[in-house]
Structure 1
Amino acid sequence: MEYVKLGNTGLDVSKICLGCMSFGDPKKWIHSWVLDEAASRKIIKKALDLGINFFDTANVYGIGSSEEILGKALKDYAVREEIVIATKVSGKMHDGPNGSGLSRKSILHEVEQSLQRLQTDYIDLLYIHRWDYQTPIEETMRVLNDLVRSGKVHYIGASSMYAWQFQKAQYVAEKNGWTKFSVMQGHYNLLYREEEREMNPLCLDMGVALVPYSPLAAGRLTRDWDSESKRAQEDQVAKQKYDTTEAQDKLIVQRVAEIAEKHHATRSQIAVAWLWQKGVTAPIVGITKEKYLDDFIGALDITLSKEDMTLLEEFYLPHSIIGHQ
């Protein structure tokens, strides 16, 4: 495993981040393909054995069950000081008032709940999962700063928003002497590159780490377009993201296959190697089988040429914005 600094922080993270959205109880959430605790623990243990120290979850994943599974497994298998746990806040956790959002009340309550589920005294990295249009950003940035000052959170990040929103949040924090975001978790892969227009250049200029989700476009970059998997059949969110651009995306997937054959590599290795060469710190890989982790480790040995990069990017056409609220 290789380790890098997380943006302009002093924190060392593995170049691969294990996403934990696939862990949980399918009865509690929208995804029917998630793994139960026994299967999830095997993947977490395998990741640790390979040197992965960066784990990404969210309070809303399985309505807390992902955090519970991750917390138990890390307590059993890992040394807490060596592990970097990232979780998120803002999604709907219960019906009624204050069940979601980024108010002071919601954030403080949800962080305490996450700490309990994760069985830890602190969260290494806390993201705001989405922008809250109903809460002043000043209120949100103030409470995030308070959490950092208290030691319950060490670093903060943001996920899937417009560049103007991210810049506004950073300005509010800087103006008031509060903690600024160190990480941006955006939607970014070979099939969806809209982050290249504003957000990625902004973050790279500011020294903010890029830790994108969906690096394999929900598996579409790893297999022939007409092949099927349980997730491909049942993941309605992924279908909303990618099915409307099928014609152009097919060409990109075929090009990934060609470059993979040239390098005697897998398609997922090419997709991840491309992200690293675009300035990404650590793509978040979500898996449902242990063997895929070995696949990602192999990507560390791949260097794409300028010609490879050009061929991989040649067929991309602008997409509608996906992921922002």
Structure 2
Amino acid sequence: MQQRSVGATGLRVSRLGLGTMTWGWDVDEHEARAQLVEFVEAGGTLVDTASTYGDGASEELLGSMLGTLVPREEVVVATKAGLSRRGGQRRVDTSRRALLQTLDASLDRLGTDHVDLWQVHAHDPATPVEEVLGALETAVATGRARYVGLSNHAGWQTAEAATWQRAVPGRVPLAAVQVEYSLLNRDVEDEVLPAARELGLGVLPWSPLGRGVLTGKYRTSTPAASRAASDRFAGFVRPYLDESAAQVVEAVSRAAEGLEWSPLEVALTWVRDRPGVTAPIVGARSASQLRSSLATEDLVLPGEIMDALDDVSGA
């Protein structure tokens, strides 16, 4: 698998990342092991997790495989902090105390003394940006993180943080921003992508398949084994099951038929090769599903198809 630099840093990762959001929930240990082996054997290096995924189970599963199933040095481990759930409610806390406590807990679950990329999972209006960035500085200075970045921040928030770090020589620069980006959600093209380009940040799109909708699985019905049919993820998928999304899905499906590809291959290749993108993060329920994403490595969308998809998706 091709490797790409993460922004203006020396960190290089595979141009597809393995997402582990459902590890410990919908993906058990057996399937997680099969996915990781499949990914690494295909040349994948970037594995993305977070302290909240599976309430910590995702990090624990990944940690149980590092150094045993795959050598630790062969993977780029990325995790996130700043989000938690208490009493069923989503809570954002990016105070220095919360971030560093969460990082230490993540390292313990992962069974490692450092992560390769540590990201602030969401913007917290209650915490000053200088305090958040100070925690990132501490993580790097103490060797607990090699590179740092942001996730789910608006363009101005990303630009503010990156500019703050660049203002004084010696500060640790932000390496990446992780954001939702697909043919069904191109909002980041307005501000986040231009900010990342100007400030030298890599872009790691999550849900590049539109929360699974762009695979075409929901064109006629909701499969019983799909996320949209589960209590945990139905609300996550529902926003992309409207008529507007359906038109994009149909266009992707028609393009796939003409190319003799799958809709997944069309949608994922589109995101992967967008300007400024480093590596889309792909999740899967099984190794066979993941294999479908890995099969895009040698695919390149024709220019006329790219243009047509740009038009129908609202560019």
Instruction: Report the secondary structure of 1:126's partner residue.
Output: strand
Instruction: Report the secondary structure of 2:118's partner residue.
Output: strand
Corresponding position: 1:79 with 2:79: no
Question: Distance in 2 between the 1:108 and 1:181 partners?
Answer: 17
Q: Which amino acid aligns with 1:130?
A: A
Deviation at 1:253, TM superposition (A): 0.7
Instruction: Report the secondary structure of 1:215's partner residue.
Output: coil
Deviation at 1:207, TM superposition (A): 2.2
Question: Distance in 1 between the 2:239 and 2:149 partners?
Answer: 23
The verdict on how the C-alpha distance between 1:215 and 1:296 changes in structure 2, with shifts beyond 3 A counting, is same
Match of 1:322 in 2: none
Question: Distance in 2 between the 1:144 and 1:129 partners?
Answer: 12
Q: Is the 8 A contact 1:252 1:313 kept in 2?
A: no
Question: Distance in 2 between the 1:113 and 1:94 partners?
Answer: 17
Question: Distance in 1 between the 2:155 and 2:48 partners?
Answer: 22
Question: Distance in 1 between the 2:71 and 2:254 partners?
Answer: 41
Deviations 1:54-109 (CA, angstroms, capped at 9, x unpaired): 100000111111000011122321121221000000011557xxx85111111111
Question: Distance in 2 between the 1:240 and 1:227 partners?
Answer: 13
Match of 2:209 in 1: 216
1:297 to 294, 299, 302: 294
Deviation at 1:317, TM superposition (A): 4.1
Deviation at 1:240, TM superposition (A): 4.6
Deviations 1:10-48 (CA, angstroms, capped at 9, x unpaired): 112111100000101x4xxxxxxx212222222122212
Match of 2:181 in 1: 188
Q: Is the 8 A contact 1:23 1:65 kept in 2?
A: yes
Question: Distance in 2 between the 1:44 and 1:129 partners?
Answer: 23
Q: Is the 8 A contact 1:17 1:284 kept in 2?
A: yes
Match of 2:191 in 1: 198
Match of 2:259 in 1: 263
Deviation at 1:277, TM superposition (A): 2.3
For normalisation by structure 1, the TM-score amounts to 0.89
Question: Distance in 2 between the 1:247 and 1:213 partners?
Answer: 22
Q: Which amino acid aligns with 2:177?
A: M
Question: Distance in 2 between the 1:151 and 1:52 partners?
Answer: 24
Match of 1:273 in 2: 269
Q: Is the 8 A contact 1:45 1:73 kept in 2?
A: no
Deviation at 1:297, TM superposition (A): 2.3
Question: Distance in 2 between the 1:159 and 1:131 partners?
Answer: 8
Question: Distance in 2 between the 1:201 and 1:241 partners?
Answer: 26
The verdict on how the C-alpha distance between 1:100 and 1:75 changes in structure 2, with shifts beyond 3 A counting, is farther
Instruction: Report the secondary structure of 2:206's partner residue.
Output: coil
1:239 to 233, 237, 240: 237
Question: Distance in 2 between the 1:242 and 1:265 partners?
Answer: 22
Match of 2:307 in 1: 310
Corresponding position: 1:154 with 2:139: no
Aligned residues: 305
Match of 1:58 in 2: 50
Percent of residue pairs bearing the same amino acid type = 32
Instruction: Report the secondary structure of 2:207's partner residue.
Output: coil
Question: Distance in 2 between the 1:283 and 1:45 partners?
Answer: 19
1:157-172 equivalence runs, <5 A: 157-172=149-164
- The runs of 5 or more residues in structure 1 that have no matched partner are 27-33, 319-325
Deviations 1:110-137 (CA, angstroms, capped at 9, x unpaired): 1110001001110100110000111111
Instruction: Report the secondary structure of 1:259's partner residue.
Output: helix
Q: Which amino acid aligns with 1:179?
A: V
Question: Distance in 2 between the 1:302 and 1:88 partners?
Answer: 31
Specify which structure has the higher proportion of strand.
2
Match of 1:8 in 2: 8
Question: Distance in 2 between the 1:166 and 1:297 partners?
Answer: 30
Deviations 1:205-253 (CA, angstroms, capped at 9, x unpaired): 222111110000111100252232321212234235324xx11211111
Question: Distance in 2 between the 1:68 and 1:241 partners?
Answer: 31
For normalisation by structure 2, the TM-score amounts to 0.92
Instruction: Report the secondary structure of 2:18's partner residue.
Output: strand
- The runs of 5 or more residues in structure 2 that have no matched partner are none
